[in-house]
A and B are shown apart, each in its own frame.
Chain A
Amino acid sequence: MSPSTPTRRSRLLTIYAALVFAFIYLPIVILILYSFNRDGVGGFPPRHFTFEWYRQLFADGPIWDSVLNSLIVAAGSVVLSLTLGLLAALALDRANFPGKALFRRLVLLPLILPGIITGLSLLMFAVVSGVQLSLFTVFLGHGTALISVATTELFAGLQKMDRAQEEASLDLGATPWQTFWRVTLPNLKLSLIAAGLLIFTLSMDEIAVTFFLIGRDNTLPLEIWGRLRRGITPEINAVSTLIFAVSVGLIVIWYRVRTRGLGADAQELLERP
């Protein structure tokens, strides 16, 4: 093998990687840059730096209403899907019942189904049962559709757990209920945090299911989408930049919890007040 081969190959690889990254991230960079451009989205390159669009954004009542709506829906969805997902994961991990294989696939179905199908079916369900469309139906939609995410994540956590710990707890005199609260749940803490963060982010930017179930109050993605129909304003760029920053923050936390999660250091890190 000639000595030049590895270097040439690695240089090509670098260029290739740079192109891929450019393709993925350049649009986002441009979006962020233009949120600081005085002349709005017209003209290249962006010329005059300004915080004007952020000022307008912070003065914009409807946007912040929709942010609040999204936060409420996301928080509710986290609680609902984690609770139901935990029960489903426990059933899959521990119980043996007829139709378990089918149940397992059905629980994971919303993960594969197009959002439009989930949204449409939930809409029809709401209409048939006479429920008024509102943020509540959006919350029910997100919460149930994201059970699949919670179930997969928590099931993986349960599988990794050493079952002897639960036996040790029973052996030491703890009832099954005490064992669940004192041993099983603390062991699942990292899975719960990871799943919660993921569900929160997914709910925050969900459009397809939300579109069918929304009542009068908009969530943030629908508010943005509604405004885009009247033309792109740099205010949208500004709000998108903020969303991007928050999402990156959450994903970094989620990633750290997941990867370093099993080590004792991360556990101590998380338990520190």
Chain B
Amino acid sequence: MSFAIANPQSLDTATPAVLLEVRDVAKRFGAREVLKSISLNIAPGEFLTLLGESGSGKTTLLRLIAGFEQPTAGEIWMSGERLDALPPYKRRVNTVFQNYALFPHLSVRDNVAYGLRVKSTPASEIGGRVDHALRMVKMEEFADSRPSKLSGGQQQRVALARALVNRPQLLLLDEPLSALDANLRKQMQGELKTLQRELGITFLFVTHDQDEAMALSDRIALLRGGALEQVASGREIYAHPTTAYTAQFIGQTNLLRAEVRDGVAVCGALQWPAEGESGAAVFSLRPEAIQLASAGISIPGTVHFRAAMQQQFYSGASELLEVTCAGGQLLRVRVPAQGPLFGEHDFVFAAADAIRVQE
């Protein structure tokens, strides 16, 4: 902040520092438009996740930043330098590949030293930096092994060390955990997050797993069909999805197709106060926003309704109910574990929890 005071010009530029700037980038492969005019900024030290289904263009965007593909239109800038004009080996960006892409003919140590050697780093410096990188990922005892002798998780760590030893400004991770089994995955998620916080290196992480995205990221950029659907923190994106797609992709939700008239939304038997313009509208209502209620008690700003039990899915601490209300509308409700429920029950939700989303 002392920098800002010493330099009065920066006082009125309220935007935070930007490490990577993607400007109107589009990419086509022949007739197929994989990315449509993407604009995205990444701040230094940020953990940003590109989240999307397969075919959404997230890996393509990563490959454009790494330099393996050229954008059809638009520009990519990093630290005030035009990045997309540089070949991959001149970018201060390193990648952890989906299947690690370790060099099978080199030992773990030589794999990690590779980036330093090709850039003619003095030999005296290489040894220390490689050892340090291997220690960081707890792989120093495997330094002389071949990659083929290592388990998936160990290969993953070597791939991380091989990238980080070059001290990149930006680390790209292409679904790095997708080849690991569930337990190892959770553990590696924790290690990745810790490593990122300690090193302060900017991470751009690609995944199709929304839980992973929520657990790790400072911000999530949700891609859909080659366009950005929403860019926000995990909490923000979950609490305030802007589109029906986002609401459904991140977590579970009930999509209520309602008619808004005179500040009231009507969806079958349900009614709640809603702002915004009149006409057809879609609302997202998270299952956990709906609670079981005792009949007769009404608090202002809440919506009461009666619904019949259809299904009950028990999952330990909570259970998911599928209920139908008077208009036939099917709703999913997540409640603390209750024991078996039958027949009709009273439910309640806060009107403010019904979030109006774009179709």
A residues bordering B, Cβ < 8 Å? 162, 164-165, 167-176, 178, 182-183, 186-187, 189, 264, 267-268
Contact = CB atoms under 8 A, between A and B. Distances in A.
Contacts of B104: 165, 187, 264, 267
A175 B87 CA distance: 9
A174 B149 contact: no
B99 interface: yes
Interface string B1-33: 000000000000000000000000000000000
A193 to B, nearest CB: 13
29 contacts: A162-B99, A164-B98, A164-B99, A165-B103, A165-B104, A167-B66, A167-B68, A167-B95, A167-B97, A168-B97, A168-B103, A168-B162, A169-B118, A170-B67, A170-B87, A170-B89, A171-B66, A171-B67, A171-B88, A171-B89, A172-B89, A172-B94, A172-B162, A173-B166, A174-B118, A175-B89, A186-B105, A187-B105, A264-B149
Contacts of A167: 66, 68, 88, 95, 97, 101
Given A173-B166, A174-B114, A175-B89, A168 B105 contact: no
Chain B's interface size range is 20 to 34
B89 A162 contact: no
Closest 5 CB pairs of A and B: A172-B115, A164-B101, A174-B118, A168-B101, A264-B148
A164 B118 CA distance: 18
A250 B101 CA distance: 33
Grouping DSSP codes into helix (H, G, I), strand (E, B) and loop, the A interface class, with mixed when no group exceeds half, is helix
A165 B146 contact: no
Contacts of A187: 104-105
B101 A162 contact: yes
Interface in B181-228: none
B60 to A, nearest CB: 14
Interface string B99-133: 10111110000000011001100000000000000
Nearest to A263: B148
Contact of B97 (A164, A178, A182, A186): A164
B232 to A, nearest CB: 29
A162 B101 CA distance: 8
Interface in B66-93: 66-68, 87-90, 93
Contacts of B66: 167, 171
B344 to A, nearest CB: 57
A171 B97 CA distance: 10
Residue among A170, A173, A264 with the highest chain B CB neighbour number at 10 A: A173
Contacts of A175: 89, 118
Nearest to A267: B105
A172 B100 CA distance: 13
Given A162-B99, A162-B101, A267-B105, 17 more contacts: A164-B98, A165-B103, A167-B88, A167-B95, A168-B103, A169-B118, A171-B67, A171-B94, A172-B89, A172-B94, A172-B114, A173-B89, A174-B89, A174-B115, A182-B114, A186-B105, A264-B148
Residue among B66, B95, B105, B162 with the highest chain A CB neighbour number at 10 A: B105
A162 B99 CA distance: 10
Nearest to A265: B148
A120 to B, nearest CB: 44
Nearest to B90: A173
Contacts of A186: 103, 105
Contacts of B67: 170-171
A173 B95 CA distance: 11
Contacts of A169: 103, 114, 118
B61 to A, nearest CB: 16
Contacts of A164: 97-99, 101
Residue among A168, A178, A267 with the highest chain B CB neighbour number at 10 A: A168
Contacts of B149: 264
Nearest to B63: A167
A262 to B, nearest CB: 9
A52 to B, nearest CB: 50
A171 B92 CA distance: 9
A176 B103 CA distance: 16
Contact of B119 (A162, A173, A182, A189): A173
Contacts of B94: 171-172
Interface string B138-165: 0000000010110000000000001100
Nearest to B114: A172
A170 B115 CA distance: 9
Contacts of A170: 67-68, 87-89
Contacts of A267: 104-105, 146
Interface in B165-189: 166
A162 to B, nearest CB: 6
